[in-house]
Structure 1
Amino acid sequence: MKIKLMALAFTCCVVGAAQSDSKKIKEDFKPSTKNQPGKEYPQVNSQGYARFRIEAPAADSVRVSLGLGGRGGTKLEKGEDGFWMGTTEGPMDEGFHYYHVDVDGGTFNDPGAKNYYGSVRWESGIEIPAHDQEFYALKDVPHGKVEQILFPSPSTNTSRRAFVYTPPGYHKDQSKRYPVLYLQHGWGEDETAWSNQGHANLIMDNLIAEGKTKPFLIVMTYGMTNEIKFGGLRNFDIKPFQTVLVDELIPYVDQNFRTVADENHRAMGGLSMGGMETRTITMNKPGVFSHYALLSGGVYSPDDIKKEDVKLVFLSCGSKESPERIKESVAALKSAGYNAVGYISEGTAHEFQTWRRSLYELAPLLF
């Protein structure tokens, strides 16, 4: 992964009170699905524009900063009632976005929106409805469970947290054993990201209900990535997390859940910096996993693969990232005899809609 990818794509600029005819905004705004209960703002419309309304009667300046790290911004205008309002200059990509509010230089969350851990802090979240949102929608199908576990970590002298998705039926049939996907978050996020922002559990529930994937467990833990500053990837040491994952978490999961405890039934994947972790660990420990997945997290060359019988190499990114790198890597891996699959999320960048779609494409290929 290259850290510069993290800064892509979420940028939204200053609102214009007057829009030209070519940028006519439809006034069909509705509250975002990520709003706090009963809150009317922020709102989104059918074109993908977002509108914000912040109460700050004593403020001199209010701006909404969207995206990982809060780059870019939408300047709000103050009304006589003390509320500041504004609309993004252009439509945003489909899916989930982080944002926060800058009030006179201070950073705050929007009281109208729910909070999600990203950018190494709890950020406000907004959802731009996607044309394909059905695959992660909450439906009337059998649901799995996402449960928190605390596992001992002698290497860090503490107990660490992970979340485990168990598929529908796991707790009924006590004889069945399952493969496991170890799925990592990106920089600035934590082990809650794939469930809260990514809807990994709903994606799996829907795929299983449709008979499109085999049931398997997903284990999500903190990648110990946020101790380095944004842009400081060169300073990240994989060894402490590699020890936690391989020597502590995997044995704990195999002992406490009904897994098929061998490398052929164990996969690792991650988004962005979690992809970098996946790439490094699968290269360092080729006998632990048999399925590899990098979601906007770099690529492999044939020489990187240290395991001849690796069952799957899955590479993905958004069409607004570096799709040619994915295509070139997949072609090279296939030429070398590996089962490599590439996926490009159309119309998205370094963001959760890319990774939701990537998981949806990946899951049926596993195990």
Structure 2
Amino acid sequence: MNYKFITLVMILLTNTGISFAQSAVIEDFKPSSVNQPERQFPQVNSQGRVRASIAAPNANKVKLDIGGVKYDMVKNAAGVWTGESAPQDEGFHYYQLDIDGALVPDPGTLYFYGAGRLGSGIEIPASDKDFYAIKDVPHGLVSENIYFSKLTNAWRRCFVYTPAQYTADAKTRFPVLYLQHGSFEDETGWSSQGKANLILDNLIASKNALPMIVVMDNGYAYENQKSISGDKVVRPVSVFEEVMMTEIIPMIDAKFRTISDREHRAIAGLSMGANQTMRIAMNHLDKFAYYGGFSGTSNYPSSDEINPATFLDGKFNDGKAVNKQLKVLWLGLGTKEQNPFPDSVGAFKTMLDKQGIKYVFYESPGTAHEWLTWRRSLHQYASLLFK
């Protein structure tokens, strides 16, 4: 036996990132938990690999596109293409199929609004999935609330979670958390991909969080533009802060049994929503006593040193005043997130430290800029509210 040749091959495989252990696929695939009813594909195995399958007999090339990487699929005699990905991180991921260059959703899955479109999603079972699992506990209600916005001159909607106690006791009033999505997502994200209602159900049932109302609105709100003659292109002006303060909050306080003071009102958001909600909170500290930023702050995307005298019009310049006004200033980030998020959050934390401002920082182990990071963040943040 030529041991020198075998050793050379093993060295080459190691240097190219390939190993015999990595190449072995464990055949314990099971249908994803977010498949359409009775659909067997896509599937996930214990390694976190995703296996997709689609009938496309006339296609010339089909790929599985997930996590920014495309994996070739193979066609059998019946015209069915099948292929699998490398192991994926735990949690929820968007993906799509590339059929002869056309990017399309996988018809086997439920559809989720993310990346600016309705598309496919996959759940890689997480080791800590118990905190957002459906359990035999009292469950709250997520209701769709449609309203007309004078600021945008358009119909809008928000989803409102009311805890099980809300219907059980018709007299009690509840604190409110305003919870925002990220870029290219919408008001459906937190109760669909984010499992916010299940997270709150389980926290409240275990007495690790107080019963609260959660309001999830659409962060895209633009000023009603008058028609403009000529070819001039006008960038739409965001009025989400104004919509939140003058339309959403008054509507929620009028329609639901809220406790409508700052000590019982919190706000949080992920990524783009973290930026928006920080600005709203700091501009209206007479209305909010709690802030949570999941994978983002208002200095995004800059990682430059923050001057507290000018940042957000000096809202963080007086550290003692901020500590007195904010009962909880909370920041969360996944350990696998890539820049600009770690740098921008890091620069913000450095500024807080220099100003002597108290905050809670949480790192989600093994997750990137994705929903498991934000589920864990909500789980940690909500447990600190209104206590």
- Does the TM-score normalized on the shorter chain lie above 0.5? yes
Specify whether residues 22 and 215 from structure 1 end up closer, same or farther in structure 2 by C-alpha distance, changes over 3 A only.
same
- How much does 1:21 deviate? 3.6
Which of 324, 340, 351 lines up with 2:370 in the alignment? 351
Q: Cα offset for 1:326?
A: 4.4
Q: Residue in 2 aligned with 1:6? A: none
Alignment deviations for residues 314-343 of structure 1 (CA, whole Å, 9 cap, x no partner) = 111100125576466446535634331011
Maintained 8 Å contact 1:19/1:25: no
Q: Cα–Cα, structure 1 residues 334 and 260, in superposed 2: closer, same or farther, change >3 Å? A: farther
Equivalence for 2:303: none
Q: State the TM-score, normalizing by the size of structure 1.
A: 0.86
CA apart distance, 1:24: 1.6
Match of 1:338 in 2: 357
Q: What SS does the aligned partner of 1:171 have? A: helix
TM-score by length of structure 2 reads 0.82
Supply the distance in 1 between the matched residues of 2:38 and 2:131 (Cα, whole angstroms): 26
Cα distance between partner residues in 2 of 1:34 and 1:250: 33
Work out whether residues 93 and 122 of structure 2, in 8 Å CA contact, stay in contact via their aligned partners in 1. yes
Contact 1:187–1:272 under 8 Å retained in 2? yes
Deviations 1:69-114 (A, max 9, x none): xx321221111221111111x2101010111111111121111111
Q: Which residue of 1 aligns with 2:260?
A: 261
Quote the residue 2:230 is aligned against. Answer: none
SS of the equivalent of 1:73 reads strand
1:56 is displaced (CA, Å) by 0.4
Aligned-residue offset at 1:288:
2.4
Q: Distance in 2 between matches of 1:299 and 1:160?
A: 25
Query: What CA distance in whole angstroms lies between the structure 2 residues aligned with 1:345 and 1:262?
Result: 31
CA contact (8 A) 1:163 1:221 kept: yes
Indicate conservation of the 8 Å contact 1:327/1:342, yes or no: no
Does residue 134 of structure 1 match 2:153?
no
Structure 1 or 2, whichever has the larger Rg, is 2
2:288 maps to 289
Measure the CA separation in 2 of the matches of 1:207 and 1:201.
Answer: 10
Residue 190 of structure 1 aligns to a residue in which SS?
A: coil
Correspondence for 2:336: 320
Query: 2:43 aligns to what?
Result: 43
Instruction: Report the counterpart of residue 250 of structure 2 in structure 1.
Output: 251
In structure 1, the partner of 2:65 is 65
Q: Distance in 1 between matches of 2:279 and 2:351?
A: 19
Shift of 1:354: 0.3
Measure the CA separation in 1 of the matches of 2:237 and 2:385: 29
More displaced 10-residue stretch of structure 1: 296-305 or 247-256: 296-305
Residue 106 of structure 2, aligned match among 107, 110, 133: 110
Structure 1 SS opposite 2:152: coil
RMSD (Å) for aligned C-alpha atoms: 2.3
1:9-33, CA deviations, whole angstroms, 9 ceiling, x for partnerless residues? xxxxxxxxx9844432211110000
Number of matched residues? 338
Retained in 2: the 8 A contact 1:48–1:91? yes
The equivalent residue for 2:207 is 211
Q: How does 1:159-178 map to 2 (within 5 A)?
A: 159-178=155-174
Q: Which residue of 1 aligns with 2:302?
A: none
Q: Counterpart of 2:37 in structure 1: which amino acid?
A: P
CA-CA distance at 1:251 after TM superposition: 0.2
Does the aligned pair in 2 maintain the 1:312–1:338 contact within 8 Å?
no
Structural mapping, 1:182-221, within 5 Å? 182-221=178-217
Extract unaligned runs of 5+ from structure 2.
1-17, 224-234, 300-305
2:13 equivalent in structure 1: none
Spell out, residue by residue over 1:229-281, the C-alpha distance to the aligned partner (whole angstroms, 9 max, x if none). Answer: xxxxxx7844x111111110000000110111112211111111111111222
Counterpart CA distance in 2 for 1:176 and 1:194 is: 25
Higher relative contact order (CA 8 A, sep 6+): 1
Greater CA drift, 336-345 or 201-210: 336-345
